[in-house]
Amino acid sequence: MRIRFRHVLAFMLPAIAAVAFFAIYPLAYTGALSLQKFNLTSGAPAKFIGLGNYVRLFSDSQFMNSLKVTAIYTIWGVLATMVLGVLLALLLNSKGKLVGFLRAVSLVPMLICSMALSVAWALVYNTNFGALNAILQALGLPTQNFLGTVKTALPSLIAIDVWQFTPYVMILTLAGLKGISPELYEAARIDGANQMQCFWKITIPSLRGVLVTTLVMRVIDTFKTFEKPLVLTNGGPAMSTDTINLHVFNTAFSSWDMGYGSAGSIVITLIIALFSAAFIRLSRKAEN
Amino acid sequence: MALNRRIITVARGILCLACVAVIAFPVIWMIRCSLIPTVEVYKMPPALLVKPTLNSYVNVFTRQNFLLRFANSAFVSVASAGIALVAGSMAAYGISRFKFPLKDQLPLGFLFLRMLPGMSTLVPVFLMFTKLRLIDTYPGIILLYAAGAIPMIVWMMWGFYQDLPTEVEEAAYVDGCGPLPAFFLVVMPMTTPALAALGILAFTGAWNEFMMATILTRRTVMTLPPGIRFLMSQADLSWDLISAGGTLVSLPIFLACLFAQRYFIDGLALGAVKG
């Protein structure tokens, strides 16, 4: 059977056309819009202003604040989930039925709709009738306005991230641990290695591939945080939880500043592209 | 030594249960709030035993249009996952079997597209949808979600087809079967487990999606996630209704975690689940 060009076209066209129309063209369009002054509320036609929007971005204290908030959120969220997740995996690495059950339950936070988990946590954090304050009260401790003060709002959101993604890191680490051949440990034990040596010389190096790719995936996901601050704090109080994704979204769809919002989108895209390139390189290295 | 081992097993069991409790608590609390009378939700301290009621569910279904929202979510997710599976696996097959220019660069291109955050394209997509009158239409949101899931499917199926032996298709060709019938009648049925796994992932992605849906859908096509957001924006904020919405949108995911665990865990390692 000779494969002709029309066959290739028939197979490739649906997917290529879909991503061209809904992803590649819009991405180029975002790039073009980012070079224009274009606000839907003003009614004025779009005007080319070169890099004007980008110059404005980096002197805009609100945008810089959103970068800072996202950096803090990402660093603490990723660090805490990685350390806790790996620790739990090491402690729970066994074949018991309970661990299997935990694995099934662990999937829920990372898979349920971000709207649902925002609702769940709104009910936990609520100042007047929240579950956490009920527990504090029962223990005789003062109740807190978790999402309402500058000091506690961001840490409270990071805590949700830890709740949501520690199980993710744990599951992936458990899968990585399962892949280490027990013969390695036996051989080491015969050579007289103790448990600490086995851990540092066998467990950690064998897990390196899994850990590095998990870390980069976590950074990418955390960087994109949007729904949680939107629903729980709407970026407040005093913009202390205004993540970059939320900030740019509001620039485009609350202020209707399409040109300026697009410039923000391009900055987000470039940062994610950088991390994605790192992810692809590292996961290929891990495979070899 | 034996005693030591017993202690470790027991300690491990306790740690396991503690983790389960912490993970499950917020979700169970939300379900509880959806099943009790409105006044009980606001009681401090909360009563531990309350007579359950389905009032909030009756309310969201009859007064808040949640029947339509639920049906919309189901239809949009199933349709977009189906389209993405067909288009995505066709392209993956084409890349792994045919020779054509740039084919070696394509998989990596799709992988990059998979990583693309929603905000990269949302502004132009909104402008395009407005111009083409696709706002609040089923074809608009379904095709957009399908296009969003295609890169992941191409990437995963491409790896899969490369490991699949070609003998069966070649036999089909010898029997006079063209490439398209050979693909649909011979190749696709051989890959049903992989397609099922990816279908579940694509369904979950569309079912949970909020950012695009909140901008691109209105009264008619609105899915559950923006529907919940809409409940929260109402003046008489009632948390029992909102909890019912949150529980409803989680139901298929609970089922999937119970019955399709393995698929998700395989997908996680490849970064197929979006956070």
Beta-bridged to residue A144, according to DSSP, are none
Residue B129's pLDDT is what? 97
Query: Whole-angstrom Cα distance, residue B62 to residue B56?
Result: 10
- Residue B263: is its pLDDT beyond 90? no
Q: What is the mean pLDDT of residues A90-112?
A: 88
Determine how many CB atoms are found less than 10 A away from the CB of residue A218.
23
Considering only residues 215 to 254 of chain A, which have any Cβ-Cβ distance to chain B shorter than 8 Å? Answer: 217, 220-222, 224, 226-227, 231, 245, 248-249, 252-253
Considering only residues 130 to 149 of chain A, which have any Cβ-Cβ distance to chain B shorter than 8 Å? Answer: 131, 133-134, 137-138
Query: Whole-angstrom Cα distance, residue A248 to residue A267?
Result: 10
- Chain B residues in contact with A96 (beta carbon < 8 A): 9, 12-13, 16
Query: Whole-angstrom Cα distance, residue A235 to residue A288?
Result: 43
Q: Are the beta carbons of A105 and B23 closer than 8 angstroms?
A: yes
- Chain B residues in contact with A3 (beta carbon < 8 A): 97-99, 179
Task: Enumerate domains of chain A plus CATH numbers.
Answer: 57-287 (1.10.3720.10)
Q: What is the mean pLDDT of residues A130-154?
A: 94
Residue B170's pLDDT is what? 85
Encoding tokens for residue A139?
């223990």
Size of interface A-B (CB pairs under 8 A): 301
Encoding tokens for residue B145?
């979600």
Task: Indicate the pLDDT class of residue B1, thresholds 50, 70 and 90.
Answer: low
The answer to whether the CB atoms of A11 and B247 lie below 8 A apart is no
Task: Indicate the pLDDT class of residue B269, thresholds 50, 70 and 90.
Answer: low
Q: What is the mean pLDDT of residues A141-146?
A: 93
Residue A55's pLDDT is what? 96
Query: Whole-angstrom Cα distance, residue B167 to residue B173?
Result: 10
The answer to whether the CB atoms of B246 and A115 lie below 8 A apart is yes
- Residue B273: is its pLDDT beyond 70? no
- Nearest CA among B253, B262, B251, B243 for reference residue B32: B243
Residue B234's pLDDT is what? 82
The answer to whether the CB atoms of B232 and A222 lie below 8 A apart is no
Complex-level ipTM: 0.91
CATH topology for B60-269 is MetI-like fold (1.10.3720)
- Residue B139: is its pLDDT beyond 60? yes
Helix spans in chain A (H): 5-19, 25-33, 52-58, 61-92, 97-111, 114-125, 131-138, 150-178, 182-190, 195-198, 204-223, 227-232, 244-253, 258-287
Residue B90's pLDDT is what? 96
Encoding tokens for residue B73?
């979510």
Residue found under tokens 């909020």: B210
- Residue B275: is its pLDDT beyond 50? no
Query: Whole-angstrom Cα distance, residue B65 to residue B112?
Result: 38
Query: Whole-angstrom Cα distance, residue B2 to residue A69?
Result: 51
- Residue A209: is its pLDDT beyond 70? yes
Query: Whole-angstrom Cα distance, residue A93 to residue A261?
Result: 46
- State the helix-helix crossing angle for B119-131 and A244-253, rounded to 10 degrees: 20
- Chain A residues in contact with B86 (beta carbon < 8 A): 14
**Inter-residue long-range contacts of B128-135, CB under 8 Å, 24+ positions, other chains counted:** B128/A26, B128/A29, B129/B216, B134/B216, B135/B216, B135/B217, B135/B218
- Chain B residues in contact with A22 (beta carbon < 8 A): 121, 125, 143-144, 147-148
- Residue B274: is its pLDDT beyond 50? no
Q: What is the mean pLDDT of residues B68-86?
A: 97
- Chain B residues in contact with A136 (beta carbon < 8 A): none
Q: What is the mean pLDDT of residues B178-197?
A: 89
- Nearest CA among A63, A118, A120 for reference residue A244: A63
- pLDDT tens digits along B157-175: 998 898 888 888 888 888 8
Element of type H or E holding B119: helix B119-131
Residue A103's pLDDT is what? 87
Task: Indicate the pLDDT class of residue A21, thresholds 50, 70 and 90.
Answer: very high
Residue A34's pLDDT is what? 96
Distance, in angstroms, between B44 CA and closest chain A CA?
A: 6
The answer to whether the CB atoms of B257 and A107 lie below 8 A apart is yes
Residue B233's pLDDT is what? 86
- Report the phi/psi class of residue B49: left, alpha or beta, with left for phi > 0 and alpha for psi in -120 to 50: beta
Encoding tokens for residue B154?
């191409």
Q: What is the mean pLDDT of residues A154-178?
A: 94
Average pLDDT for chain B:
90
Q: Are the beta carbons of B201 and B152 closer than 8 angstroms?
A: yes
Return the top range by mean pLDDT from A202-216, B41-55, B67-81.
Answer: B67-81
Query: Whole-angstrom Cα distance, residue A275 to residue A119?
Result: 30
- Residue B66: is its pLDDT beyond 70? yes
- Residue A176: is its pLDDT beyond 50? yes
Residue A93's pLDDT is what? 87
Determine how many CB atoms are found less than 10 A away from the CB of residue B236.
5
Least confidently predicted of A153-167, A204-218, B117-131: A204-218
Q: Are the beta carbons of A260 and A251 closer than 8 angstroms?
A: yes
Phi, psi of A37 (to 5 degrees): -90, 115
The answer to whether the CB atoms of B20 and A101 lie below 8 A apart is yes
- Residue B240: is its pLDDT beyond 80? yes
Residue found under tokens 């202390």: A240
Chain B residue nearest residue A111, CA to CA: B253
- pLDDT tens digits along A61-88: 999 999 999 999 999 999 999 999 999 9
Identity of the amino acid at A35: L
- Residue B265: is its pLDDT beyond 80? no
Task: Indicate the pLDDT class of residue A194, thresholds 50, 70 and 90.
Answer: confident
- pLDDT tens digits along A239-274: 999 999 999 999 999 999 999 999 999 999 999 999
- pLDDT tens digits along A51-68: 999 999 999 999 999 999
Average pLDDT for chain A:
92
Considering only residues 168 to 207 of chain A, which have any Cβ-Cβ distance to chain B shorter than 8 Å? Answer: 168, 171-172, 175
The answer to whether the CB atoms of A102 and B19 lie below 8 A apart is yes
Residue B210's pLDDT is what? 96
Residue A97's pLDDT is what? 83
